[in-house]
Amino acid sequence: MSDVAQSNGKKKAAKPDDGRKLVASNRKARHDYLIEDTFEAGLVLMGTEVKALRMGRASLVDGWASFTGDELWLEGVHIPEYVSGTWTNHTPRRRRKLLLHRKELTKIMQATRESGHTIVPLQLYFKDGRAKVEIAVAKGKKEYDKRHALRERQDRRETERALGAYRG
């Protein structure tokens, strides 16, 4: 079936159903960083971490990724302990290994060698039953860049509001 469904002669865009169930999103990262490139990575998790994520509990706000040798590790991400877990529970802020192809790891490593670049997590989700994290190679914004972006967004909203009042 095509991406466009027809009814009564009108075209409607079908919703993309890519099997993603969002667990956590890092909205602050898009405000604090200029996103240059994004990657989807798998995660090496313990059983209780997966169960806690399926309950929709996680925080990416303080998260970052770093290289140890030639492996990429996700650090500072908070996945709370599983409520029904016993002595097998995980520690909430432990380091978690990211799974990427070698070419992607090399590309990320080269990008982060440049001054001011870092790796930040943007989203944590399940895709086809597997936990994935969307990471980005990003460059930190200066304070004036943040103010400029905020002002542009506010101006755009005011323009749309004025046009809506004019039309309606």
pLDDT at site 164: 79
pLDDT digits (tens, 9 = 90+) for 39-75: 999 998 888 888 888 888 788 888 888 898 889 999 9
Is residue 151, in this structure, part of any structural domain at all? no
pLDDT at site 103: 94
Q: What is the DSSP string of 109-163?
A: HHHHTSTTEEEEEEEEEEETTEEEEEEEEEEEPPHHHHHHHHHHHHHHHHHHHHH
pLDDT at site 168: 61
Is residue 162, in this structure, part of any structural domain at all? no
What are the per-10-residue average pLDDT scores of the chain (168 residues)?
Answer: 43 54 85 86 85 83 87 88 73 84 92 86 89 89 75 85 76
Full domain range(s) for residue 109: 18-143
pLDDT at site 18: 66
- Tally of domains in the chain: 1
Is residue 64, in this structure, part of any structural domain at all? yes
Is residue 63, in this structure, part of any structural domain at all? yes
